Structure 1
Amino acid sequence: MPIVADTKNWTWVLERECPECGFDSSSTAAVDVPRLTRENAAAWPAVLARPNVSERPDAETWSALEYSAHVRDVFRIFRTRLALMLDEDDPEFANWDQDATAIDERYNEQDPAIVSAGLLEAGEAFAVLLEHVRDDQWQRTGRRSDGSVFTVDTLARYFIHDPVHHLFDVHR
């Protein structure tokens, strides 16, 4: 059964602490995001080893497997977006419907071991790319089709909230 889509604009996390998970992107330095990404990615294999990894806690909440596959894809999508920002002037990001992806890619039917390996690989790829951002690149811009504009700095800080928040989700 599909989950009701989350249509909130989460860019507010750049301004204040998240009241749900407690993470504060506004006080996070972008140069710390590679370390935070690796720490976050390292926590997911234990989640994926749970015997009930594909069970949803209720009809409105993804299973831990679905959250894990989503986080893997967040790592991939944001690596692509970051690379665009570093290679192009003010690129517009392709739309990504994360809820449609969860259904189309059958997140809840994927092999947890394969998701785990892919998540670790994608997290490392994002972290490595971000570590190589030069001082003169942090203010390069990119934008979503909804008009939200990011710099490399704000994209990194916006990005890290998502996997941190979802790790909180699977530990509630």
Structure 2
Amino acid sequence: MDTDPRPAATTTPPAIEPDGKDWTWVVEARCPECGFAASDVDAQGIGGTVRDLAPRWVAVLHRDDARRRPQPHVWSALEYGAHVRDVLRLFDERVQLMVEQDDPVFANWDQDATALAERYDLQDPAVVADELARAAAATADRFDAVAPGQWDRTGLRSNGSVFTVRTLGQYFLHDVVHHLHDVRA
């Protein structure tokens, strides 16, 4: 972990090119960047997989260079970790909505705007690690609690993409795995 508890900089970091890709295709095809194949994921194993991945993220956030961007326009491990923490929280909420409501429509979430507004770059890596671990446990528990008859319940993303609880879980896991690839963990 960084030995200096202060953030590396208090000025706004260089802007990151917003990710405008529609990643929903990963539910049907292997990701050529990270190798993850969402369609291979057994829905009942999602919770366990989240629990298995969380310690890897905690270790990433405790690296000495967690705050350093590898390039000015690429997120640091800290920024990716804060993003994954928020992804865990968001998908916990979305699964809850899908199980409790018929065909909920998810509010739009702009990950890039959130990263800037929440100043991911200035957060404490140790705090983010703890929050990520708690969010992972809660999200894993949420997926573990999905009853057999609930995996095909549907929800809609704000862009109109339709997910079942199963495909939402597969899509979500890709994000968590892909960003481990991004931070070389």
What is the TM-score with the length of structure 1 in the denominator?
A: 0.98
- Equivalent residues in 2 for 1:14-163 (5 A)? 14-163=27-176
| Structure 2 portions without partners, runs of 5+ | 1-13
Secondary structure of 2:34's aligned partner? coil
In the alignment, the residues of structure 2 paired with residue 45 and residue 86 of structure 1 have an alpha-carbon distance, to the nearest angstrom, of 29
1:170 corresponds to: 183
Deviations 1:61-103 (A, max 9, x none): 1000000000000000000000000111000001100000000
In the alignment, the residues of structure 1 paired with residue 48 and residue 178 of structure 2 have an alpha-carbon distance, to the nearest angstrom, of 16
1:2 corresponds to: 15
- Alignment-mate amino acid for residue 129 of structure 2: S
Aligned length: 172
Structure (1 or 2) with the larger CA radius of gyration: 2
Structure 1 runs of 4+ aligned residues shifted over 6 Å read none
Percent sequence identity is 54
Select between 41-50 and 143-152 the one with higher mean Cα deviation: 41-50
Q: Paired residue for 2:24, among 11, 22, 26? A: 11
Deviation at 1:35, TM superposition (A): 1.1
In the alignment, the residues of structure 2 paired with residue 47 and residue 135 of structure 1 have an alpha-carbon distance, to the nearest angstrom, of 34
Secondary structure of 2:50's aligned partner? helix
Secondary structure of 2:152's aligned partner? coil
Secondary structure of 2:163's aligned partner? strand
What is the TM-score with the length of structure 2 in the denominator?
A: 0.91
- Alignment-mate amino acid for residue 56 of structure 2: A
- Structure having the higher helix fraction is 1
